[in-house]
Each structure stands twice: as structure tokens, then as C-alpha cells.
């Protein structure tokens, strides 16, 4: 294990920390961790905090006592505001966010044309990568208002969260792509895209038409023409948000359970963060087990249990000793698994959170997790 312990309270209390991004594979308690961090920042450190979840799971709303979350921050009730803090929560609605971007950066008439376009309707709801790019847009919106002391981002499972990091570069490749320039040229020229492409590209255009279909190609052309004036803004805002993620005001926290796949994903993400020069603040090891009697080794505990059983004495004590032996072995296995990360990244501070007897489903449970993190 890492010798350095992650100072969660120091991180949350630092006014220069404006964004905390929680990353990790699915099922490791990432959403709960993000919510607990947001709650502790608000209650203990008096910060006006918003938790943004990109994960479509609705556990965050349930744990905060909210009937639902949507694209607008909702204040969480029942929070101790004696220190002046507030807690708000929201869940990314990628179509609504896309709609907001269109409305903010074009005329009402052009926005209506875009909204009516079938290609836009499909892209804004289901197109691969749209969610991650719109997450960047929403984060940029939240940060630009300067309304929040702290923004806590709960990302999708880590490979998808890599898409979150890749969104600006991927968008730039899309905007600069040859196919897009081909579609954009006739739209800018005011000619029929279909006839111009047919005249200019011959067999290629017929192949595209065969693959995509004439109607889809027409819809795509109209979509590109309508968004033409917005493309530069998309790229610029995405690049700005990417620079925010690289800034010291941002802290990335990796969340993992003591399982090989989860730790491997955390290590993979850590390598990317280092390569992208993004500030990796630490690792949260969730659902770790420990013994109240660590000096009693598993073998000795099991031997004592066997001796009691052979003598026919104290069966309950024998059972307790065997449970202890299993717990010690589980703890040792978890530490070995965690060492796959901590040995590879010895400079990354780490904090362990003890496994809880039940899932967290309310604010009190989040307070408990926050206290364990700190």
C-alpha cells in the first residue's frame, strides 16, 4: 500500500480546488463516493457544491432523497448548513444540453431548423460520443458561471470516462474530417449537395448513397449546413474545458474496489491521466475489509478453532475463530490486489473505505462514507 494517505478533507477544504472528477469502473461505488464528497464539502467545509452525474444510473438521486435528477441543479434538503455550505445535484441530459448549446449560439430560426432535422434528432439522443462531448459542455457551463465553489463530477465507467477525456480531440477530428468538408462545401455553396457530390465524386458518392441512403445523406447535409456557423464554437469550448481539466484547480480521484479488474482499470486510467498531464489527486479503495484483531493470524485462529472442535468445547467460539480466519485471509487478498496499483504508482496518495454492511441509500449513509473518506 502507498505510504502516503490521501488527505480528503484537505482537498475539499482547499478553495483552489474547484472541480473533483471521480473515475473508475462500474460497480465500485463511484457514484456514492462522489455524492459523499459533495456532501462533506458542503456540510463540513461550507462550500457551495454541485454534484454532476454522467452515469445514467439513478442511485445518486435516491441517496440524496430526491425523486429525480435532471439537467438543472436541484438543492438537496436536510443538509447541515451551519457552515454556510449548500449541496445541489444534477444528472446530464445530453439531448437537452445539446439543445441548450444550439439555442445559445444561433438564431431562433436556425435553431428551429436544426431541431427539426432528423439527423440532429438521432445524434442528440443516441450518437456515439455525444454524451461525452455534452458532458464537457455541461462542465464548462457550470465552471464558467463561477456560481459554484466546488463541482464534483461522477463519470461513467472508466473506459467510457476515457471518452470524456477524448471528446475535444475527437470533435476536432470530426470537424476537420474530409467527409465533413465534402458535405459542408456544397451546403456553403448553396447548391444541391446530392447533385454536386455526384458530379464531383462519381462512384464514391454512389457508394456513400448506397451505404447511408439518399434521405440520410440529405438530412446529414442539412444538419451540417445548419451547424456550420457553430462548429468553431464547439471546438473552442471543448478545448477550453480540456484545459480546465489539466489545470491545478481540478483533482481527479480514481475509485476502485479491491478486485483485479477494477484495480486494472484504475491503473489504466492513471496512465492516461499522467500522459495527458492531468492532476491525479489520489486513489479511493472502496469496500476494503479489515480485522479488529490483526495480531491473530489466520492459521493460528483456524488451529485454535480446530482444537476446540476436537475437544467438543465452545462451538460458538470455534465458529468465531473460523470467521476471523476467513476475514484475515480476505483482507490479505485485498491488500495484494491493491498493491498492483500502489506498487505501480507509489506517489499517488491512497485512502481506504471500509466495506459497509448495507448499500448507502440516504444522506446519513453518505455522511458515514464521507467520514470514512476523511
User: Mind listing the pLDDT tens digit for each residue in 276-307?
Assistant: 899 999 999 999 999 888 889 999 999 999 99
Contact 234, 170 (CB under 8 A): no
Phi/psi at 52 (5° precision): -105, 115
Q: Is the pLDDT of residue 257 over 90?
A: yes
Give every CB contact of residue 141 below 8 A, 6+ residues apart in sequence.
100
Contact 269, 156 (CB under 8 A): no
Dmax over CA atoms of the chain, in Å, equals 96
* DSSP 8-state assignment for residue 71: S
Q: Is the pLDDT of residue 178 over 80?
A: no
Kindly report the average pLDDT of the chain as a whole number: 82
Give the three cell numbers for residue 31: 457514484
Ramachandran area for residue 24 (φ above 0: left; ψ -120 to 50: alpha; else beta): left
* DSSP 8-state assignment for residue 295: T
Give the three cell numbers for residue 85: 455550505
49-59, pLDDT tens digit by residue? 999 987 666 66
Question: In this predicted structure, what is the pLDDT of residue 160?
Answer: 65
Residue 128's pLDDT band (cuts 50, 70, 90)? low
Q: Is the pLDDT of residue 125 over 50?
A: yes
Question: In this predicted structure, what is the pLDDT of residue 64?
Answer: 76
Q: Is the pLDDT of residue 216 over 80?
A: no
Question: In this predicted structure, what is the pLDDT of residue 161?
Answer: 65
More confident residue, 185 or 160: 160
Give the three cell numbers for residue 26: 462500474
Question: In this predicted structure, what is the pLDDT of residue 45?
Answer: 97
Contact 9, 44 (CB under 8 A): yes
Q: Is the pLDDT of residue 153 over 80?
A: yes
76-101, pLDDT tens digit by residue? 988 898 899 999 999 888 888 888 88
Residues 340-346: contacts with CB within 8 Å, 24+ apart?
340/260, 340/263, 340/264, 340/267, 341/256, 341/263, 341/266, 341/267, 341/270, 341/283, 342/1, 342/2, 342/283, 344/267, 344/270, 345/2, 345/267, 345/270, 345/283, 346/2, 346/3
Report the alpha-carbon distance of residue 283 to residue 252 in Å, rounded: 9
Q: Is the pLDDT of residue 149 over 60?
A: yes
Mean pLDDT over residues 242-261, rounded?
A: 93
Question: In this predicted structure, what is the pLDDT of residue 197?
Answer: 45
Q: Is the pLDDT of residue 344 over 60?
A: yes
Question: In this predicted structure, what is the pLDDT of residue 44?
Answer: 96
Report the alpha-carbon distance of residue 95 to residue 56 in Å, rounded: 13
Residue 227's pLDDT band (cuts 50, 70, 90)? low
Question: In this predicted structure, what is the pLDDT of residue 187?
Answer: 46
Question: In this predicted structure, what is the pLDDT of residue 306?
Answer: 93
331-343, pLDDT tens digit by residue? 999 999 999 999 9
Report the alpha-carbon distance of residue 49 to residue 289 in Å, rounded: 31
Question: In this predicted structure, what is the pLDDT of residue 211?
Answer: 47
Amino acid at each position: 500500500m502507498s505510504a502516503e494517505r490521501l488527505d480528503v478533507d484537505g482537498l475539499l477544504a482547499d478553495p483552489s480546488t474547484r472541480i473533483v472528477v471521480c473515475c473508475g469502473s462500474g460497480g465500485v461505488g463511484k457514484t456514492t463516493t462522489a455524492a459523499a464528497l459533495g456532501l462533506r464539502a458542503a456540510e463540513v467545509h461550507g462550500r457551495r457544491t454541485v454534484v454532476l452525474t454522467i452515469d445514467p444510473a439513478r442511485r445518486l438521486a435516491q441517496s440524496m432523497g430526491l425523486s429525480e435528477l435532471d439537467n438543472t441543479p436541484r438543492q438537496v434538503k436536510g443538509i447541515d448548513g451551519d457552515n454556510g455550505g449548500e449541496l445541489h445535484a444534477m444528472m446530464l441530459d445530453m439531448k437537452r444540453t445539446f439543445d441548450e448549446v444550439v439555442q445559445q449560439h444561433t438564431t431562433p430560426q436556425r435553431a428551429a431548423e436544426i431541431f427539426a432535422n432528423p439527423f440532429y434528432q438521432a445524434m442528440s439522443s443516441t450518437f456515439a460520443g455525444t454524451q461525452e462531448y455534452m458532458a464537457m459542455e455541461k462542465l464548462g457551463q457550470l465552471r464558467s458561471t463561477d456560481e459554484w465553489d466546488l463541482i464534483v463530477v461522477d463519470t461513467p465507467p472508466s473506459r467510457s470516462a476515457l471518452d470524456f477525456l477524448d471528446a475535444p480531440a475527437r470533435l476536432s477530428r470530426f470537424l476537420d474530417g474530409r467527409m465533413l468538408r465534402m458535405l459542408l462545401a456544397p451546403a456553403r455553396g448553396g447548391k444541391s449537395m446530392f447533385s454536386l457530390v455526384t458530379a464531383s465524386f462519381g462512384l464514391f458518392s454512389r457508394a456513400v448513397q448506397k451505404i447511408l441512403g439518399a434521405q440520410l445523406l440529405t438530412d446529414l447535409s442539412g444538419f451540417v449546413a445548419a451547424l456550420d456557423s457553430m462548429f468553431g464554437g464547439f471546438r473552442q469550448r471543448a478545448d477550453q474545458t480540456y484545459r480546465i481539466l489539466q489545470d491545478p484547480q481540478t483533482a481527479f480521484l480514481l475509485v476502485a474496489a479491491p478486485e483485479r479488474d477494477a484495480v486494472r482499470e484504475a491503473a489504466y486510467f492513471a496512465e492516461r491521466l499522467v500522459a495527458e498531464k492531468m492532476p491525479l489527486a489520489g486513489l479511493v479503495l472502496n469496500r476494503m475489509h479489515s480485522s479488529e484483531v490483526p495480531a491473530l493470524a489466520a492459521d493460528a485462529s483456524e488451529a485454535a478453532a480446530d482444537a476446540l472442535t476436537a475437544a467438543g468445547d465452545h462451538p460458538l467460539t470455534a465458529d468465531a475463530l473460523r470467521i476471523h480466519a476467513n476475514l484475515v485471509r480476505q483482507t490479505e487478498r485485498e491488500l495484494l490486489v491493491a498493491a498492483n496499483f500502489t506498487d505501480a504508482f507509489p506517489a499517488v496518495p491512497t485512502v481506504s473505505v471500509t466495506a459497509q454492511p448495507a448499500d448507502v441509500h440516504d444522506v446519513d449513509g453518505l455522511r458515514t462514507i464521507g467520514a470514512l473518506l476523511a
